Amino acid sequence: MVRVVVVGATGAVGTEVLRILEERNFPVDELVPVASPRSIGRKLEFGGAEVEVAGLRPEVFDGADIAIFDVSEDLSSEWAPVAAERGAVVIDKSSAFRMDDEVPLVVPEINADQVRNRPKGIIATPNCTTTAMVMPLAPLHREWTVNRLVVATYQAASGSGQPGTDELWEQTQLAAKEPEAVREGRAGDVIKGGGTFVHPLALNVLPKCGSVREDGYTSEELKLCHETRKILGIPDLKATATCVRVPVVTGHGVSAHAEFDSDVSVDRAREILAASPGVELADDVDNDVYPTPLDAANQDPCFVGRIRKDLFDDRALEFFSVGDNLRKGAALNAVQIAELLL
């Protein structure tokens, strides 16, 4: 009898969690969807039946085997320990516990063994952009040992949850009705920012994801660097990133420059990546084969292509990877972790 509680079941990630539990025939005997007070009583489809959304109370975790948290950092910080105390193994999608030494940060294809090491009863899953990058980076690291990483990201609106997706759709529809304004540089008069994103996102790119820290880096950029170090087990990895929001609904892209301890080979990199579970090679640029967010949306693997050697450094590779931020970047990774617990 497996009882699974999904906290945030009505959100962008939570909705995907329910879908993936069904798709993968996860053996759920009882599913308890939990959301904010405004969703209590709402009926969700699951396993051919309707399940009713419950409110967030300590009692919902009684008798739960697994609690998958798809809510904000603040809610996870407060409620994940409550769920763990009541006996559930918590799989948390927020950033609340990712850098906690007593909480493993797990990508099953890379460090599945870490799930057993959970003194707090909590397992964290990485930021969606980190996942899209470490999936191809980890096998290359195993071959040549990475020591330096310079990354630029192209992050989809849905990375900011359902409100981010809704905002991009609204802005895109408004912009499509006003081509003159867009052409004349007055797009900002038609599509206003100020909701999830400060500036208009439609027909634009925003080189700031997350909040800004004292050193000028954003929270998203620091997450990418710190989480990569933890997952790969390289605390002193020199990593730097620029995170950019782009007008894509789903699918985060990452352009990476990775320096290694020894000389690299593009052919060997392709061979390694083609054989890596959860990674799909899309690297035939002469025939216009390379990863794009539209191709990656609703897909399980992370796609990697544009693999080439640095023009000036025989130990450095460039690559571009894309992963569905809601699936492998969040919900799928969590369900894969849950499968390891069975």
Ligand X SMILES: NC(=O)c1ccc[n+]([C@@H]2O[C@H](COP(=O)([O-])OP(=O)(O)OC[C@H]3O[C@@H](n4cnc5c(N)ncnc54)[C@H](OP(=O)(O)O)[C@@H]3O)[C@@H](O)[C@H]2O)c1
The least distance separating ligand X from the CB of residue 170, rounded to whole angstroms, comes to 16
Q: Is 183 a binder of ligand X (CB under 6 A)? A: no
Residue 161 touches ligand X, criterion: CB under 6 A: yes
Give catalytic status of residue 226 as yes or no.
no
Nearer to ligand X, 13 or 279 (CB): 13
302 given a catalytic annotation: no
Residue 113, judged by CB atoms within 10 A of its CB (0-12, 13-18, 19+), counts as exposed
Catalytic: which of 128, 209, 243, 302?
128
Nearer to ligand X (CB atom), residue 12 or residue 133: 12
Rule CB under 6 A: is residue 325 a binding residue for ligand X? yes
Q: Does 38 bind ligand X (CB under 6 A)?
A: yes
Number of residues that bind ligand X (CB under 6 A): 30
Q: Which stretch binds ligand X (CB under 6 A): 36-44, 145-153, 186-194, 302-310?
A: 36-44
Chain centroid to Cα 211, Å, comes to 17
70 binds ligand X (CB under 6 A): yes
CA distances from 249 to 165, 168, 201, 232, 286 (A): 6, 7, 11, 29, 27
Q: Per CB under 6 A, does 71 bind ligand X?
A: yes
Residue 74: count other Cβ atoms within 10 Å of its Cβ.
Answer: 10
Other beta carbons less than 10 A from residue 29's beta carbon: 10
Asked if residue 11 binds ligand X (CB under 6 A), the reply is yes
Among 12, 21, 54, 337, binds ligand X (CB under 6 A): 12
Q: Is 204 in the site for ligand X (CB under 6 A)?
A: no
Rule CB under 6 A: say whether 94 interacts with ligand X. Answer: yes
Choice between 269 and 326, CB closer to ligand X: 326
Among 22, 39, 150, 237, the residue binding ligand X under the rule CB under 6 A is 39
**Among 84, 128, 135, 151, which residue interacts with ligand X (rule: CB under 6 A)?**
128
Please report, as ranges, the residues that interact with ligand X according to CB under 6 A.
Answer: 8-14, 34-36, 38-39, 56, 70-73, 75, 93-94, 128, 158-159, 161-163, 325-326, 329-330
* Catalytic positions, written as ranges: 128, 252
